[in-house]
Amino acid sequence: MKKETDTDIKSNQEQSQPSPDNGNQFSSSRRRFFKLLGGGIAVTFVLQDAFAFLADPENTAVLQQASPKEVGAWIHIGENDVITVYTGKVEVGQNIRTSLAQVVAEELHVPMASITMVMGDTDLTPYDAGTFGSRSTPSMGPQLRKAAATAQAMLLDMAAEQWKVNISALRVADGKVINTKNNKSLSFGQISKGKQLLKEISDNTSLTPTEKWRVAGTSVPKVNGRDLITGRHKFVSDLKQPGMLYGKVLRAPAFGASLATVDLSAAKAMPGVVVVQEDDFIGVAAPDAPTAAKAIEAIEVSWNKTQQPSRSNIFDYLKQHATDGRGGRGSAEKGSIAQGMAAADKKLAATYKVDYIAHAPMEPRAAVAQWENGKLTVWTGTQRPFGVQDDLASKFNLPKEKVRVIMPDTGSAYGGKHSGEAAVEAARLAKAAQKPVKLTWTREEEFTWAYFRPAGVIEVSSGVKNDGILTSWEFHNYNSGPSGIRTPYEVPNQQIQYHPVESPLYQGSYRGLASTANIFVLESQMDDLASLVNMDPLEFRLKNLQEPRLKAVFEAAAKGFGWGKTKPAPNHGYGIGGGTEKAGFTATCAEIAVDPGTGDVKIVRITTAFECGAIINPEHLDNQILGAIVQGLGGALFEAVDFENGKILNPHFAQYRVPRFKDTPAIEIITLNRKDLPSAGAGEAPIVGIAPAIRNAIADATGVRLKTLPLVPDGLKANLGAP
Amino acid sequence: MELQVNGIKHTVSAWSETSLLYVLRDELDLTGSKYGCGEGQCGACTVLMDGKAVRSCRVPLSATQGKQITTIEGLEKEGQLHPVQEALLNVDVFQCGYCAPGMIMSAVALLETNPQPSEEEIVAHMNGNVCRCGTYPRIVRAIKEASNA
């Protein structure tokens, strides 16, 4: 819990000491703080840490260590009526820039247009661990609401004092405090004029109840939408600095390869080209990108290769190199598997295999790095600006305040941009060249040297009574990861284990993380169990489910889809799947059609129901669900990273198929608005029901119960041929 | 070499085999056209050449001689957005927006030759443009809206 002491500082020097031991420090910090921001009032978070940091005159950064352990944010109300929100969160297409501004506009009673969001700049925004795990809406949203409400309370107090009236006579609208007795008004800027007031966010502040929302809860359009459709927005890859060079890095031919011999002389002889070699890192910076590419080509190099896994043996590799997993992340144990299996009328065991897949964000990794007077500034597209700041500080042995990372709104991530590879590479080149350097990864580099959603093997063994009650559930996940590993169904006897493996390819986060694998297996197995006891798949799920929010989305999806109302046409099938992840609840129904001649599978229609508490922006929520469905289709049907002996074989869009216009079926999205519940994030969870719903629909149409992701990269012909 | 972009004649220093996308972005600082793959597979770099949609990453500078190039920067006329841009804004289509300029140029080219396309025609024409955020149905809706404008 945060302290609720009022650290309001009046401009009067005598009143500006919150505690006797750091008074001088405090007031000098406050002066520096407002020097950077301009006068006005500000509401911040964990104020003491911020002042301790600002007290160091060497620091040019503002509040970057304000709250190292927690998510931080603050709001400044300027004398010019401009309201600036500072948050370490970043925009990668999830429209958080819009929805966070909405909650501030709501609590402050100001028009959206008066709010400027400063995001993901390590010099200007408080520390933030990163934009991932669907945390921005549930954790940053409420903090900003409290900060805004605290600011409004301050403004009311100040207006009441100025007019010598009781606060109850005042109301706030459109960025003004209005005296209801005489209809006089003061804008927020007028009230804050000449002031330099700081206040800590109060946990006591009363927030606008959801049912009274007027800005939050509505479909406010994307705040910088016009910049994107006119090409005016500058992504990192669009940035230029005076005198900037263009970088390129020499890449190994495969994972596990190391440098044997290298001759840099031809590259070094090229005019204007700077060549850098530090151990296995070799890169160049040149006056233009074609010259940089030519310089890399001019390097004569040979590599020592090592034996590496291939896609054809990856699943054996993962099983063989797995750790025990007992007691590790995601593990759960309950009852006795032996007793559970003994109590079962029917038993079912299966092994599932899930390929590596790529995020393939449309904007590949990029960075612009610049060294100036011993300070490094890097613009880069990352979900963790402060994490990349740490990486850079440690790489170049710099104090953190000598490293600034700035993240302009970036061309998507989907969990794939937690890291800062391009930032470190560009900074190395810029340091050697003593000029700013831009490095933009090629699509091939992005497909090879970024990281993938993990491949995995999942073994599940389960038991059920003839009446459809689950008795036993044993689940072993090798390398896919622990997210979504626990079953939401009621099973008295459970053993669930995640067995980590040292992955031969780079792997990391993804949209919905491992739940795209775990819930696929869970919901496929549930379908097969339903079939074993001759129950309708929906009825079987509901019978074993108590979580009311998950039940509600299953029922909503089924109703929208018309589940149980019609039989599928010949060669068509219906399937259902769902689950919960990151406090979002989702269920999908799918209709597919199989061409019995060619084995081609076509998705006819998808109905997804989703619930994430109180909805902040209905259109943007709809768009996130749509995005999750379309991305989910790719991972379900055909996406897979192919590799042989550590070399990626399909690092291009021509070979790595992603969903396109033609792959998109009819889509129905149903959102359940639970105004009584806190808002949760929505970028990830709606993806988890897609693959199992499609898989189960294929089973319904053909009887083929697929156990791989992707399901049908080459259609179903091979499966239909075998009886 | 010379290059006619958005009605303005430029003299550029790049070699004749250099890609149009490179010249637009790095020489002329018209960064609205995006690099997405460099092989004509994603459509992020789409521009108009004499009114036809082309993938500028696959067009060498030599092939642009005597042609009129239109990029995303040339669509807005005196603050007035093109109907396709208006419709995309109205439907609030985009998430990250990196694919947007290429999508818009492809859609503009479609409506030039086929002012009232069917949904199937829109899907067929736009299939070479990738939106990894998955906004396809919204883009289709916006193009339909623009075609009725």
Kindly list the domain boundaries of chain A, sorted by start residue.
13-229, 236-305+365-440, 321-356+452-721
Residues of A in contact with B20 (CB under 8 A): none
A44 band by pLDDT with thresholds 50, 70 and 90 = low
Selecting from B33, B130, B137 the residue whose C-beta is nearest the C-beta of A653 gives: B130
The answer to whether the Cβ–Cβ distance between B127 and A652 falls below 8 Å is no
Does residue A24 have a pLDDT over 90? Answer: no
ipTM: 0.98
The answer to whether the Cβ–Cβ distance between A661 and B22 falls below 8 Å is no
Span A686-702, mean pLDDT? 98
Whether A473 and A467 have beta carbons less than 8 Å apart is answered as no
The answer to whether the Cβ–Cβ distance between B92 and A225 falls below 8 Å is yes
The answer to whether the Cβ–Cβ distance between B97 and A363 falls below 8 Å is no
Q: Searching chain B, which residue's CA lies closest to the CA of residue A235?
A: B98
Structure-model confidence comparison of residues A195 and A412, the more confident one = A412
The answer to whether the Cβ–Cβ distance between B32 and A230 falls below 8 Å is yes
Tell me, yes or no, if the two domains A236-305+365-440 and A321-356+452-721 fold the same way.
yes
Residues of A in contact with B24 (CB under 8 A): none
Q: What is the DSSP string of A297-347?
A: HT-EEEEE------GGGHHHHHHHT----TT-TT-EEES-HHHHHHT-SEE
Span A242-252, mean pLDDT? 98
Q: A-B interface: how many C-beta pairs under 8 angstroms?
A: 167
Does residue A60 have a pLDDT over 80? Answer: no
A57 band by pLDDT with thresholds 50, 70 and 90 = very low
Does residue A692 have a pLDDT over 50? Answer: yes
Q: Searching chain A, which residue's CA lies closest to the CA of residue B126?
A: A661
pLDDT at res. A135: 84
- B41, B133, B138, B139: best to mutate for the A interface, most A CBs within 10 A: B133
Whether A362 and B44 have beta carbons less than 8 Å apart is answered as yes
The answer to whether the Cβ–Cβ distance between B96 and A410 falls below 8 Å is yes
The answer to whether the Cβ–Cβ distance between B133 and A627 falls below 8 Å is yes
Residues of B in contact with A226 (CB under 8 A): 81, 89
List, for residues A180-227, the tens digit of each pLDDT value: 999 999 999 999 887 877 777 777 788 999 999 999 999 999 999 999
Whether A417 and A365 have beta carbons less than 8 Å apart is answered as yes
B14 at A interface, C-beta within 8 A: yes
Whether A181 and A239 have beta carbons less than 8 Å apart is answered as no
A73 band by pLDDT with thresholds 50, 70 and 90 = low
Residues of A in contact with B93 (CB under 8 A): 623
Does residue A20 have a pLDDT over 60? Answer: no
Span A269-291, mean pLDDT? 96
- How close, in Å, is residue A498 to chain B by CA atoms? 30
- How close, in Å, is residue B61 to chain A by CA atoms? 14
Does residue A15 have a pLDDT over 50? Answer: no
Q: Searching chain A, which residue's CA lies closest to the CA of residue B85?
A: A229
B102 at A interface, C-beta within 8 A: no
The answer to whether the Cβ–Cβ distance between B136 and A240 falls below 8 Å is no
Share the mean pLDDT of chain A: 90
Residues of B in contact with A443 (CB under 8 A): 36-39, 42
- A218, A229, A357: best to mutate for the B interface, most B CBs within 10 A: A229
pLDDT at res. A129: 85
E strands, A469-600, in order: 470-478, 493-499, 572-581, 584-594
pLDDT at res. A198: 75
Query: Considering only A45-54, A120-129, A572-581, A656-665, which range has the smallest mean pLDDT?
Result: A45-54
- A661, A669, A687: best to mutate for the B interface, most B CBs within 10 A: A661
Selecting from B32, B42, B126 the residue whose C-beta is nearest the C-beta of A661 gives: B126
* CA–CA distance, B38 with A443 (Å, rounded to integer): 8
Q: Which helix (H) or strand (E) holds A387?
A: helix A385-395
Query: Considering only A94-103, A123-132, A242-251, A415-424, which range has the smallest mean pLDDT?
Result: A123-132
Task: Kindly report the CATH class assigned to A13-229.
Answer: alpha beta
Q: Searching chain B, which residue's CA lies closest to the CA of residue A656?
A: B41
* CA–CA distance, A549 with A486 (Å, rounded to integer): 16
pLDDT at res. A71: 35
List, for residues A530-567, the tens digit of each pLDDT value: 999 999 999 999 999 999 999 999 999 999 999 999 99
pLDDT at res. A597: 92
List, for residues B12-24, the tens digit of each pLDDT value: 999 899 999 999 9
Residues 6+ apart with CB under 8 A from A352: A457, A458, A459, A460, A517, A520, A521, A524, A707, A708, A709
B31 at A interface, C-beta within 8 A: yes
List, for residues A317-343, the tens digit of each pLDDT value: 999 999 876 666 778 899 999 999 999
pLDDT at res. A721: 65
Whether B20 and B77 have beta carbons less than 8 Å apart is answered as no
Quick count: other Cβ atoms within 10 Å of Cβ A469?
A: 18
A66 band by pLDDT with thresholds 50, 70 and 90 = very low
Q: Searching chain B, which residue's CA lies closest to the CA of residue A683?
A: B133
Which CATH superfamily, name and number, covers B83-147? [2Fe-2S]-binding domain (1.10.150.120)
- B25, B71, B96, B136: best to mutate for the A interface, most A CBs within 10 A: B96
Q: Searching chain A, which residue's CA lies closest to the CA of residue B19?
A: A290
- How close, in Å, is residue B22 to chain A by CA atoms? 8
The CB-side HSE value for A148 (13 A sphere, CA atoms) comes to 26
E strands, chain B, in order: 2-5, 8-11, 46-49, 52-55, 68-70
Span A657-679, mean pLDDT? 97
Number of helices followed by number of strands (H, E) in chain A: 19, 29
The answer to whether the Cβ–Cβ distance between B136 and A652 falls below 8 Å is no
pLDDT at res. A16: 31
Q: What separation in angstroms does the CA of A148 have from each of A318, A652, B26, B30?
A: 50, 46, 42, 39
Q: Which helix (H) or strand (E) holds A445?
A: helix A443-449
Supply the DSSP symbol for A688.
Answer: T
Residues of B in contact with A661 (CB under 8 A): 122-123, 126-127, 129, 136, 139-140
Instruction: Report how far apart the first and last C-alpha atoms of chain B are (Å, whole number).
Output: 39
Peptide bond into A710 cis (omega under 30): yes
Residues of A in contact with B100 (CB under 8 A): 228-229, 231
Does residue A91 have a pLDDT over 80? Answer: yes
The answer to whether the Cβ–Cβ distance between A630 and B134 falls below 8 Å is yes
CATH 3.10.20.30-classified regions of chain B: 2-74
Q: Searching chain B, which residue's CA lies closest to the CA of residue A445?
A: B37
List, for residues A501-525, the tens digit of each pLDDT value: 999 999 999 999 999 999 999 999 9
Q: What's the token pair of residue A403?
A: 């490293």
Whether A220 and A617 have beta carbons less than 8 Å apart is answered as yes
- How close, in Å, is residue B126 to chain A by CA atoms? 7
Supply the DSSP symbol for A494.
Answer: E
Residues of A in contact with B14 (CB under 8 A): 290
Strand order of the sheet with strand A708-709? A332-334, A493-499, A470-478, A456-464, A346-354, A708-709
* CA–CA distance, A485 with A514 (Å, rounded to integer): 8
* Among A422, A405, A284, A428, residue whose Cα is nearest residue A365: A422
Residues of A in contact with B35 (CB under 8 A): 237, 364, 440
Does residue A55 have a pLDDT over 70? Answer: no
Which CATH superfamily, name and number, covers B2-74? Beta-grasp domain (3.10.20.30)
Is residue B87 classed as helix, strand or coil in its secondary structure?
helix
The answer to whether the Cβ–Cβ distance between B127 and A226 falls below 8 Å is no
Q: What's the token pair of residue A668?
A: 């129905």
The answer to whether the Cβ–Cβ distance between A661 and B29 falls below 8 Å is no
* CA–CA distance, A111 with A97 (Å, rounded to integer): 15
The answer to whether the Cβ–Cβ distance between B94 and A222 falls below 8 Å is yes
- How close, in Å, is residue B106 to chain A by CA atoms? 13
List, for residues A348-386, the tens digit of each pLDDT value: 999 999 999 999 999 999 999 999 999 999 999 999 999
- How close, in Å, is residue A722 to chain B by CA atoms? 34
Q: What separation in angstroms does the CA of A3 have from each of A48, A55, A408, B125?
A: 10, 21, 33, 59
* CA–CA distance, A430 with A421 (Å, rounded to integer): 14
Whether B35 and A237 have beta carbons less than 8 Å apart is answered as yes
Residues 6+ apart with CB under 8 A from B113: none
Span A476-492, mean pLDDT? 96
Per-residue b/e over A19-52, b at no fewer than 16 CB within 10 Å?
eeeeeebbbebbebbbeebebbbbbbbbbbbbbe
Q: What is the DSSP string of A242-290?
A: TT-EEEEE---SSTT-EEEEEE-HHHHTSTT-EEEEETTEEEEEESSHH
List, for residues A115-138, the tens digit of each pLDDT value: 999 999 999 888 888 888 888 888
pLDDT at res. A323: 81
* CA–CA distance, A527 with A698 (Å, rounded to integer): 12
Does residue A45 have a pLDDT over 80? Answer: no
pLDDT at res. A93: 97
Q: What's the token pair of residue B13?
A: 């220093």
- How close, in Å, is residue B142 to chain A by CA atoms? 13
Selecting from B18, B101, B135 the residue whose C-beta is nearest the C-beta of A627 gives: B135
A418 burial via Cβ count (<10 Å: 0-12, 13-18, 19+): middle
The answer to whether the Cβ–Cβ distance between A658 and B130 falls below 8 Å is yes
Whether A526 and A634 have beta carbons less than 8 Å apart is answered as no
* CA–CA distance, B24 with B3 (Å, rounded to integer): 9
- How close, in Å, is residue B128 to chain A by CA atoms? 8
- B15, B33, B95: best to mutate for the A interface, most A CBs within 10 A: B95
CATH 1.10.150.120-classified regions of chain B: 83-147
Quick count: other Cβ atoms within 10 Å of Cβ A12?
A: 7
Question: How do B46-49 and B68-70 pair as beta strands?
Answer: antiparallel
pLDDT at res. A112: 96
Quick count: other Cβ atoms within 10 Å of Cβ A653?
A: 21
* CA–CA distance, A489 with A541 (Å, rounded to integer): 8
Residues of A in contact with B41 (CB under 8 A): 652-654
* Among A108, A107, A103, A76, residue whose Cα is nearest residue A176: A108
Q: According to CATH, what is the number of the domain A321-356+452-721? A: 3.30.365.10
% of chain A with per-residue pLDDT over 90 = 80
List, for residues B18-55, the tens digit of each pLDDT value: 999 999 999 999 999 999 999 999 999 999 999 999 99
CATH architecture of A236-305+365-440: 2-Layer Sandwich (3.30)
**Interface list for B 70-89 with A (CB within 8 A):** 71-73, 75-76, 81, 85, 88-89
List, for residues B55-95, the tens digit of each pLDDT value: 999 999 999 999 999 999 999 999 999 999 999 999 999 99
